Copies of this chain bind each other. A is one copy, B any other.
Amino acid sequence: MSTVFKELLPDEKANELLAIGKIETLKKGDYFVRAGATPKKIGFIKKGLFRYVYINSLGKQFTKGIILENQFIASYSAMISNEPSFFFIEALEDSEVFSIPYNKWLSLVDADPFWMRFLLKLVEKGFITKEKRERELLLLNAETRYVNFLKEYPSIEYRIHQTIVASYLGIQPESLSRIRKKIAT
């Protein structure tokens, strides 16, 4: 377990995180966080793949984010506001997550400026990701978004269903099929 945060943190700091959390095992289709429930934990993906997904009143799904190994996952706005999450965090594969209770996480942040800076950097990274996604949805056409997607998530095509890719790109599955055929020729 000591290797979970190897790339990310010095050993001493990694141990502080390891002391307050535990590994959670999820099957494909399980939720790390459910829409409607107030989230109380942050996860770090040790193995597997997740998405953030909104489901509207008609059952239509909107994939707002896809998150790979060695990334944090949280329904962060809801968690810090102590309100129910609007979206699900769903395992797209059998996964292992290092799960940290938010109250213990906050104790670290309050006690040590190192963790406050670490958190600031995480939130800034999330902010940059969201702004990039917003911009691409507004300014780029579907084909360019798909090409960028393939660059950003190499070989992920083989791990998730095309309907999820389409929902991430904000297009219909039929449009994605057309784009894929066009690019392949």
Contacts and interface: CB of A to CB of B under 8 A. Distances in A.
Interface stretch (A18-26, A40-48, A95-103, A132-140): A132-140
Stoichiometry, as copies per complex, reads: 2
A127 B81 CA distance: 12
Interface stretch (A6-14, A118-126, A153-161, A171-179): A118-126
A76 interface: yes
A114 B168 CA distance: 38
A116 interface: yes
A166 to B, nearest CB: 14
Contact of A116 (B87, B120, B135): B120
A147 B116 CA distance: 38
